[in-house]
């Protein structure tokens, strides 16, 4: 991971345009190629970001022209970061992450869905639980009734970060010609409206799971949106 603290302005040009005026911000360039810009609040959520795969090119400062980073995404959108002053620049190898340890309810929910994948869709079957990727394991890898691969991310409470996590998994899995195309399903007891909107924008289906009904295995109550 590369960590840069800099006085910068950020412009996004693509399906829409967005502008962040000059201020001191944190820029993260992760090993998976993603780039995100943060300020000193908003918890985990970046001000702007580019998900992998993307390409970062640096245009060095030259005379009156400041240092400029251009991050180009797979859809051609560009994140242009104009850096006027670098306050800190360091690179760190974080190694292999063991992944998030789920609480008891979430882990049990994943286990139940792995045992009964048909509750996610008629004719579904499980390929593998905790399917490994370079950035961590996918909760469930399934096949639907037509034999297509489906990556399932399971949460007790579905929020935006879970959708982002599944998006990163899908980008990696779809590079594997033996699996592609892989679609995504975000399964949770409760899914926040913002997460549902983001999932729809990413082409990911949301499944609201009734944990108590699933535990009883008596016609689990689920809604597919």
Q: Say which CATH number the domain at 69 has.
A: 2.70.180.20
Same domain assignment for residues 76 and 108 = no
Counted domains in the chain: 2
Contact 138, 130 (CB under 8 A): yes
Q: Tell whether the model's pLDDT for residue 67 goes beyond 70.
A: yes
Tens-place pLDDT, residues 126-174:
999 999 988 889 999 999 999 999 999 999 889 999 999 999 999 999 9
Range of the domain at 148: 104-224
Preceding peptide of 87 cis, ω within 30°:
no
Where a domain ends, among 67, 91, 115? 91
Same domain assignment for residues 83 and 126 = no
Is 96 a domain residue?
Answer: no
CATH for 190: 3.40.1350.10
Same domain assignment for residues 85 and 174 = no
Q: Tokens representing 118?
A: 């048909």
Mean pLDDT of the chain: 88
User: Can you spell out the DSSP letters for 16-70?
Assistant: SEEEEEEEEEEEEE-TTS-EEEE-S-STT--SEEEPSSEEEEEE--BTTBPEEEE
Tens-place pLDDT, residues 90-117:
999 887 766 555 555 788 888 889 998 9
Where a domain ends, among 69, 91, 113? 91
Q: Tell whether the model's pLDDT for residue 118 goes beyond 70.
A: yes
């Amino acid at each position: 991971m590369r960590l840069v603290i800099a006085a910068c302005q950020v412009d996004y040009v693509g399906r829409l345009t967005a502008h962040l005026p000059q201020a001191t911000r944190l820029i993260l360039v992760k090993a998976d190629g993603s780039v995100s810009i943060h300020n000193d609040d908003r918890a985990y959520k970046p001000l702007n970001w580019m998900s992998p795969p993307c390409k970062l090119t640096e245009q060095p400062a030259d005379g009156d022209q400041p240092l400029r980073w251009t991050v180009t995404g797979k859809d051609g959108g560009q994140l242009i970061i104009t850096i006027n002053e670098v306050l800190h620049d360091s690179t760190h190898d974080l190694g292999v992450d063991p992944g998030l340890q789920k609480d008891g309810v979430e882990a049990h929910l994943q286990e139940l869905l792995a045992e009964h994948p048909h509750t996610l869709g008629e004719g579904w079957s499980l390929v593998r639980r905790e399917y490994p990727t370079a950035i961590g394991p996918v909760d469930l890898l399934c096949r639907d009734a037509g034999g297509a691969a489906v990556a399932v991310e399971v949460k007790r409470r579905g929020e935006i970060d879970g959708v982002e996590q599944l998006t990163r998994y899908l980008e990696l899995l779809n590079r594997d010609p033996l699996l592609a195309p892989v679609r995504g399903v975000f399964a949770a007891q409760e899914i926040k409206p913002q997460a549902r909107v983001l999932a729809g924008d990413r082409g990911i289906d949301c499944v609201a799971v009734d944990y108590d009904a699933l535990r009883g295995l008596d016609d689990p109550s689920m809604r597919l949106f």
